[in-house]
């Protein structure tokens, strides 16, 4: 068995060498071996570590946080605590460039978690999800530039309008299934983008909307005459990082609570077999509409923050490629898995930055990395664990009882 795995590792390294040679070793007609040797050294070391880990006898392994066997025990609370500490100190230890990348990761985490409700939990293939992101962004942009509405008031308004858009567009389309639903949602996403592009009087068309103000906060100061309140705009990436971190945490906790609720179980019943779920009493159209509405609310959250961060929006920021990118995060991370979405968003956003030195070959290397991940982890980087009947301490619940609860 070890010889077979070693042979696979050698074949992989040869394949990687052939693939990377024209990208890294040839520059301006000359051979430059340094970068290629560094990458090959990293790949070889990683391969040897994986080979050593997979060669450990299974009886010596203990159950880890991923549900797979690990040679050591990692308590979930310890991982969460370490993640919180890392997230809080990150902007103090890094440059503006790293903060900007981290902000993008957190925006896509919020989007990925919202789409995870629609695709991962309810099993609805939505190819126009980025339209709700655009609705949230344009809502804040229009309210702020025309009426001077501050970010904190525009944020819930953007979520409500995104939810209304999800309801108005979603209700007549969610009776469809499978490929037809995907085509309709794709069309909805394009309709929103084309409207934004052509409604010059309101959205200023392709020129976009300039002059959006950053989020502001009041803080107490002591001066002549006692305590006064000063106003501060969060223009710096340092403060914007903490703002999107709070938004991402709120979205994360909300999705976790929904996932473990009765509605979450009804969504999973619809995902597994819609006909069977309907026969057990679950109002499938209502459940799918709730998934669509809640997913659009989280996209509205992220969209309003995006407009406040960039302070400029135009339709080119909300193309189909963005919807595909968010869908990749959900599929790559593991459908229905919150830790998987976090890891998937980090991989999708950070890897292109890691490969930036490859210049023209950057996206080719990124595509190769994605392909490798899907080959070795076809169910996602951290697939969702199967739910136990007595989860949340509610005892065993039959599908018909769940349907009656969700229906009522």
- From the number of C-beta atoms within 10 Å of its C-beta (0-12, 13-18, 19+), residue 35 rates as middle
Among 34-43, 213-222, 273-282, 291-300, where is mean pLDDT lowest? 34-43
The Cβ of residue 324 has, within 10 Å, a number of other Cβ atoms equal to 13
The tens digit of pLDDT for each residue in 234-268 reads 888 999 999 999 999 999 999 999 988 888 889 88
Angle between helices 178-198 and 320-333 (to 10 degrees): 140
* pLDDT attached to residue 127: 87
Taking only the tens place, the pLDDT of each residue in 158-183 is 999 999 988 887 777 777 777 788 88
Which comes out higher in pLDDT, residue 145 or 67? 145
* Three-class secondary structure of residue 283 per DSSP: coil
- Quick one: pLDDT band at residue 396, thresholds 50, 70, 90? very low
User: What's the whole-number mean pLDDT along residues 70-83?
Assistant: 70
Express each pLDDT in 305-360 by its tens digit.
Answer: 999 999 999 998 898 888 888 988 888 888 888 888 888 888 888 877 776 666 66
Q: Residue 230: pLDDT above 50?
A: yes
Share of the chain above pLDDT 90, in %: 24
pLDDT band at 403 (very low <50, low <70, confident <90, very high): low
**pLDDT over 60 (residue 65):** no
Q: What would the DSSP string read from start to end of 324-391?
A: HHHHHHHHHH-TT-HHHHHHHHHHHHHHHHHGGGGGGGHHHHHHHHHHHHHHH-TT-SSPPPPPPTTG
| Mean pLDDT over the full length of the chain | 81
CA 62 – CA 83 distance, rounded (Å): 22
Spatial contact of 334 and 380, defined as CB atoms under 8 Å apart: yes
How many Å from the N-terminal Cα to the C-terminal Cα in the chain? Answer: 55
Where residue 397 falls among pLDDT bands split at 50, 70, 90?
Answer: very low
Contact between 175 and 285 under an 8 Å Cβ cutoff? The reply is: yes
How many CB atoms neighbour CB 282 within 10 A?
25
Q: Which helix (H) or strand (E) holds 115?
A: helix 96-115
**CA 242 remoteness from chain centre:** 17
66 has pLDDT over 80: no
Band of residue 393 on the pLDDT scale cut at 50, 70, 90: very low
Angle 294-297-299 from CA coordinates, rounded to 5°? 115
């Amino acid at each position: 068995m070890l010889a077979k795995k070693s042979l696979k590792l050698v074949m992989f390294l040869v394949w990687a060498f052939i693939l990377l040679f024209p990208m890294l070793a040839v520059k301006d007609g000359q051979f430059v071996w340094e970068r290629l040797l560094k990458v090959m050294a990293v790949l070889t070391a990683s391969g040897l570590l994986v080979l050593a880990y997979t060669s450990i006898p299974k009886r010596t392994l203990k159950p880890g946080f991923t549900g797979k066997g690990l040679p050591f025990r990692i308590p979930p609370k310890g991982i969460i605590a370490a993640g919180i500490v890392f997230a809080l100190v990150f902007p103090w230890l890094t440059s503006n460039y790293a903060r900007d990348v981290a902000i993008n990761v957190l925006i896509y985490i919020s989007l990925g978690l919202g789409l995870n409700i629609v695709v991962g939990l309810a099993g609805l293939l939505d190819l126009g999800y980025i339209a709700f992101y655009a609705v949230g962004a344009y809502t804040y942009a229009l309210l702020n530039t025309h009426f001077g509405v501050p970010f904190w008031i525009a944020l819930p308004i953007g979520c409500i309008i995104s939810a209304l858009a999800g309801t108005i567009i979603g209700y007549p389309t969610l009776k469809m299934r499978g490929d037809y639903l995907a085509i309709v949602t794709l069309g909805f996403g394009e309709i929103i983008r084309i409207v934004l592009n052509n409604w010059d009087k309101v959205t200023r068309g392709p020129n976009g909307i300039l002059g959006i103000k950053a989020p502001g906060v009041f803080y107490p100061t002591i001066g002549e005459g006692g305590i006064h309140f000063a106003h501060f705009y969060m223009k710096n990436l340092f403060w914007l990082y903490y703002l999107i971190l709070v938004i991402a945490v709120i979205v994360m906790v909300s999705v976790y609570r929904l996932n473990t609720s009765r509605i979450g179980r009804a969504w999973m019943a619809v995902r597994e077999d819609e006909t069977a779920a309907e026969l057990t009493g679950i109002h499938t159209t209502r459940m799918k509409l709730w998934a669509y509405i809640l997913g659009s609310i989280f996209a509205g959250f992220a969209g309003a923050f995006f407009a406040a961060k960039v302070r400029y929006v135009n339709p080119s920021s909300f193309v189909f490629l963005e919807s595909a990118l968010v869908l990749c995060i959900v599929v790559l991370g593991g459908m229905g898995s919150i830790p998987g979405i976090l890891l998937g968003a980090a991989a999708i956003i950070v890897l292109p930055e890691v490969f930036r030195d490859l210049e023209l070959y950057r996206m080719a290397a990124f595509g190769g990395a994605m392909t490798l991940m899907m080959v070795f982890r076809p169910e996602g980087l951290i697939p969702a664990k199967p739910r136990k009947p007595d989860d949340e301490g509610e005892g065993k619940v039959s599908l018909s009882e769940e349907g009656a609860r969700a229906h009522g």
